[in-house]
């Protein structure tokens, strides 16, 4: 159950950050704390829907 909750939370986080990125790309891309979250999501949950797209969007300079 714990793994499922972690995956669900990661999916929810990726979805929320993608929504925020679509609304205001610079605000998401330029914040170090958000970039750290994206890096962690990419490292721990690379196959979750939206994580790769989010990583590409945030690391695009």
Tens-place pLDDT, residues 24-57: 999 999 999 999 999 999 999 999 999 999 999 9
1 pLDDT band (50/70/90 cuts)?
very low
Q: Which of 48, 14, 49 is nearest to 34 (CA)?
A: 14
Q: Which pLDDT score, from 0 to 100, does residue 6 have?
A: 81
Quick check: 54 and 41 in contact, CB under 8 A?
A: yes
- Dihedral (Cα; 33, 39, 37, 48), 10-degree rounding: 160
């Amino acid at each position: 159950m714990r793994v499922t909750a972690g995956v669900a939370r990661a999916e929810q986080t990726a979805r929320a950050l993608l929504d925020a990125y679509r609304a205001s790309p610079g605000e998401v891309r330029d914040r170090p704390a958000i970039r750290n979250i994206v890096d962690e999501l990419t490292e721990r949950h690379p196959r979750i829907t939206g994580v790769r797209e989010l990583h590409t969007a945030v690391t695009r300079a």
